[in-house]
């Protein structure tokens, strides 16, 4: 699946023991977050213990729809990160999940021209493939 952003070579995440369920779900085009069953709080990025109640063994992976809104954004024009250089300028938007406004993701907003980001607009979840074949979550304005 070619990236929707010309020139972008997305960094391939390297799953570890903690993050593997998250990345495995992405490969099935599902977004799952840790949910603490002690205090019913979602977590991202994956954590060893709940940041709200401190429970270390109460996490279950919960599927979320991934709908959200664009909170704020910036445009990268001079990154030295290989993979981004040939795609610059490129959007980096902070996405706030509707299902839990305390959860944020970064998105390059495929399909939205750099600097033309509709702040506050609704976004929906999509997935893009990295060089390793690992799928990563992305968002697009709707």
Total residues found in the chain within this entry: 142
Question: What does the radius of gyration of the chain's CA atoms come to, in whole angstroms?
Answer: 16
Q: Give me the 40-59 binding string for Zn ion, x by CB under 5 A, dash otherwise.
A: ----------x-xx-x----
Minimum CB distance to Zn ion, residue 103 (Å): 14
Q: Is 29 left (phi over 0), alpha (psi -120 to 50) or beta?
A: left
Q: Give me the 56-85 binding string for Zn ion, x by CB under 5 A, dash otherwise.
A: ------------------------------
- The CA-atom distances, in angstroms, between 35 and each of 30, 65, 83 are 15, 14, 33
| Alpha-helical regions (H) of the chain | 20-27
| 37 is an interface residue for Zn ion by CB under 5 A | no
When the beta carbons of 29 and 40 are compared against Zn ion, the nearer one is 40
Binds Zn ion by CB under 5 A, chosen from 19, 20, 39, 45: 39
Write out the two tokens for 5: 């952003």
What is the contact surface with Zn ion in residues (CB under 5 A)?
36, 38-39, 50, 52-53, 55
């Amino acid at each position: 699946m070619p990236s929707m952003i010309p020139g972008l070579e997305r960094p391939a995440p390297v799953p570890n023991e903690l993050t593997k369920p998250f990345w495995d779900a992405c490969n099935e085009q599902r977004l799952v977050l840790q949910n603490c069953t002690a205090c019913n709080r979602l977590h991202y990025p994956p954590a060893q213990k709940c940041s709200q109640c401190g429970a270390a063994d109460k996490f279950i992976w919960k599927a979320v729809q991934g709908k959200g809104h664009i909170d704020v954004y910036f445009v990268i024009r001079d990154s030295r990160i290989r993979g981004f250089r040939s795609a610059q300028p490129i959007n980096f938007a902070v996405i706030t999940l509707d299902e839990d406004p305390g959860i944020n993701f970064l998105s390059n907003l495929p399909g939205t021209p750099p600097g033309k980001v509709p702040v506050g607009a609704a976004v929906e979840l999509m997935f893009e493939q990295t060089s390793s074949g690992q799928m990563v979550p992305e968002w697009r304005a709707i």
